[in-house]
Amino acid sequence: MTVNEKVAIDHGLKKDEYKKICDLLKRIPNITELGIFSAMWNEHCSYKSSKKHLKNLHTKGKKVIQGPGENAGVIDIGDDDAIVFKIESHNHPSFIEPYQGAATGVGGIMRDVFTMGARPIANLNSIHFGSPQHKKTKNLLRGVVKGIGGYGNCIGVPTIAGQTTFDESYNGNILVNAMTLGLVNKNKIFYSKAAGIDKPVIYVGSKTGRDGIHGASMASAVFDEKIEEKKPTVQVGDPFTEKLLLEACLELMAGDSIIAIQDMGAAGLTSSSVEMASKGKLGIELNLNKVPCREEKMTPYEIMLSESQERMLIVLENGKEEKAKKIFDKWDLDFAIIGKTTNSKNIELYFDEKKVANIPIDFLAENAPVYDRKWKKIKLPQSIKFKKQDFKALKIENCLKKLLSTANICDKQWIWDQYDHTVMGDTIQKPGGDSGVVRIHGTSKAVAASVDSSALYCFAHPLSGGKQIVCESWRNLISVGADPIAVTNCLNFGNPEKEKNMGEFVECVHGITEASKYLDFPVVSGNVSFYNETKDKGIKPTPSIGGVGLIKNYQNMISMDLKNTGNIILVIGKTIGHLEQSIFARNILSEKKGPPPEVNLFNEKNNGLTTLKLIKENLIESCHDVSLGGIIVAISKMCLKGKKGIKINQLKGLINKFEYFFGEDQARYLVEIQKENLPKVDKILKENSVHYDELGTVVDENIEFSDEIKLSIDDLEKSYKSWLRKYMIN
Q: Cα 468 to the chain's mean position, in Å?
A: 16
CA separation for the pair 595, 158 (Å, rounded): 38
Classify residue 520 as left (phi > 0), alpha (psi -120 to 50) or beta.
Answer: left
Beta-bridge partners for 125: 162, 178
Name the residue type at position 58.
H
Using a 10 angstrom Cβ sphere, with 0-12 exposed, 13-18 middle and 19 or more buried, the burial of residue 629 is buried
Q: Which long-range contacts (CB under 8 A, 24 or more apart) does 62-68 make?
A: 63/485, 63/486, 64/486, 64/522, 64/524, 65/186, 65/189, 66/116, 66/189, 66/191, 66/524, 67/522, 67/523, 67/524, 67/525, 68/523, 68/524, 68/525, 68/526
DSSP 525-544: EEEEE---EETTEEPPPEEE
CA distance 701 to 284: 69
By annotation, the residues acting in catalysis are 44, 90
Amino acid sitting at position 150: G
Tell me, letter by letter, the H, E, C secondary structure of 399-465. HHHHHHCCCCCCCCHHHHCCCCCCCCCCEEECCCCCCEEEECCCCCCEEEEEEECCHHHHHHCHHHH
d(CA 242, CA 308): 12
DSSP codes joined into one string, 568-586: EEEEES------TTSHHHH
What's the Cα-to-Cα distance from 286 to each of 200, 312, 314, rounded to whole Å?
10, 15, 13
Q: Are 624 and 561 in contact (CB under 8 A)?
A: no
* Residue 361: its H or E element: helix 361-364
Residue 116: which of 67, 59, 70 has the closest Cα? 70
Cα separation, 327 vs 321, whole angstroms: 10
Residues 6+ away with beta carbon under 8 Å from 639: 562, 645, 646, 703, 713, 716
Is residue 169 within 8 Å of residue 133, measured between CB atoms?
no
CA distance 282 to 343: 6
Q: What distance in Å separates the CA atoms of residue 612 and residue 550, rounded to the nearest whole number?
A: 12
Complete DSSP assignment for 110-152: HHHHHTTTPEEEEEEEEEEE--TTSTTHHHHHHHHHHHHHHHH
Please give the helix or strand (H or E) that residue 480 lies within, else none. none
What amino acid occupies position 136?
K
Give the DSSP per-residue string, 367-406.
TS----------PPPPPP---HHHHTT--HHHHHHHHHTS
Amino acid in the structure at residue 40: M
Residues 729, 715: Cα–Cα separation, whole Å? 21
CB 513 within 8 Å of CB 56? yes
Amino acid at 25: L
